[in-house]
Amino acid sequence: MNAVNASKRGGQGPARHIGTDERRLRLALAHRLAPTARAADAPEVARSLVALHGTDPATVYLAVGARLTDAGGAVADVERALYEDRALVRMHGMRHTVFVFPTELAAVVHASTGLAVAARERANLLKDLTVGGDGHLTPEWLAQVEASTLAFLERRGQATVAELAADEPRLRERFTYGKGKSYEAPHTVSSRLMRVLGVEGKVVRGRPLGSWTSSQFRWATAPPHPELPSAEAQSELLRRWLAVCGPATEGDLKWWTGWKVTDVRRALAAVGAVPVTLDGDGDGVVGYVLPDQVDAPPTESDEPWAALLPALDPTAMGWQDRDWYCAPKLRPALFDRSGNIGPTVWWNGRVVGGWAQDREGRVVWRLLDRKAGREAEQAVRREAGRLSEWLGDTVVTPRFRTPMEKELSGR
């Protein structure tokens, strides 16, 4: 959308221009990446970023560690917040993706993004059971299994699917997914039902089996939360996200939330978002900021900084249009074929390289941007040492591997 269209729709033109350098400064401060902006604990990081990508379990810990004043306590801090204090919760959110949210946002996420996805998922499951089952997998049968499963889970507190299936054997029932199609495959009721209950906000991921890098989780009943009107929840989620990631375009917001453009525009109007122009092609790209964020951050906060961020880090995955912080020429090395970004090296608000752990667990990195310079190289080396110190003997292999990560790791 150009500035003219924004003016026609909103009744006023963009308030001012926010250039790429200012966007990078805002990112450094809001995303807790500048050394003076680092946080004290995991809940503070999560609240600052709204959501931490949880598809790869290790990402949550590495993303928090990169933003803590004392990174050495990242693992214990995240585990305490997730499993003891319950200040954080791992649940399905935007774009049907697993995230870690501050617990107080659970109701907002569920009402703003989960309900529509949940309705589709349940309808698809019922259809697949009817088509691919043997006739007794009816909606009534599923309702009985669901109620029984939730009762057993409540009794246990946390449980694996295998443990729940021991309590409720009907979870082991099998049906044919995509019957008659080229992708036909056997599914168990347990795998699909737990997914549906997750997007419906009835269950959440609990403590993993094994270490903090494990992708095998127990399930737990979801913490109780109020039911919010969808429009109210969408406005609140967008307000929080713009506070962290503004300025952002309609395209960025539609991509990050997974909403329809009409929902995005309604929420923008509800929070009083202010249009600004951004660097880009043509006559100016229009982005939006909250009313109290039109003014530029103080220039004394513009200090040099480096960061080693993990695969799927919420900053690297924060916007659909990434040209202003990740040059297109770097992407073939840093992204996989599905668009997932791998471990990245940052210098002053832009991606300049990638990193990995080699066979011995050492943090190794490479700068891809020749303009980064000696100061960047020295700062990155310090951050690599900081990361190596708190990782210790733990070796993390990203769930989605990218060309550079594979090359540097030698694994």
2 & 128 share domain: no
User: Does the residue 96 lie in any domain?
Assistant: no
| 68 and 27 belong to one structural domain | yes
Tens digits of residue pLDDT in 297-355: 877 677 899 999 999 999 999 999 999 999 999 999 999 999 999 999 999 999 999 99
- Which of these three, 221, 255, 280, is where a domain ends? 221
Tell me if 317 is assigned to some domain: yes
Same domain, 214 and 335: no
pLDDT above 60 for 125? yes
pLDDT, one tens digit per residue, over 251-284 is 999 999 999 999 999 999 999 999 999 998 756 7
Count of other CB atoms within 10 angstroms of residue 150: 16
CA dist 292 and 299 (Å) reads: 17
Whether residue 94 lies inside any domain: the answer is no
Residue 178 covered by a domain? yes
Residues 6+ apart with CB under 8 A from 275: 3, 6, 7, 10, 12, 13, 14, 15, 286, 287, 288
pLDDT per position as a tens digit, 200-251? 889 998 999 889 999 888 999 988 888 899 999 999 999 999 999 999 999 9
**Same domain? 17 vs 49:** yes
**pLDDT given at position 223:** 82
From residue 164, give the alpha-carbon distance in Å to each of 106, 126, 155, 160, 213.
24, 21, 11, 6, 23
Could you report the per-residue pLDDT of 79-116, keeping only the tens digit for each? Answer: 999 999 999 999 888 888 899 999 999 999 999 988 88
Boundary of a domain, candidates 171, 187, 221:
221
Asked which of 172, 196, 221 is the last residue of a domain, the reply is 221
Closest CA to 28 of 3, 48, 1: 48
76 and 116 co-located in one domain: no
Task: For residue 151, tell me if it sits in a domain.
Answer: yes
Alpha carbons 227 and 201: distance in angstroms, whole number: 11
Please give the pLDDT value at position 12.
59
- In this structure, the answer to whether residues 182 and 236 fall within a common structural domain is no
Which pLDDT belongs to residue 28?
Answer: 95
**pTM assigned to the model:** 0.90
276 with 371, same domain: the answer is yes
- For residues 324 and 390, state if they share a domain: yes
Q: Look at residue 5 in the predicted model and tell me its pLDDT.
A: 40
Q: How many structural domains compose the chain?
A: 2
Residues 313 and 411 placed together within one structural domain of the fold = yes
Q: Is residue 276 part of a domain?
A: yes
Residues 131 and 79 in one domain: no
Structural domain boundaries enclosing 266? 1-86+225-411
Q: When comparing pLDDT for 3 and 387, which is higher?
A: 387
Tens digit of each residue's pLDDT (9 = 90 or more) over 141-165: 999 999 999 999 999 999 999 999 9
Least confident of 13-17, 222-226, 230-234, 289-293: 13-17
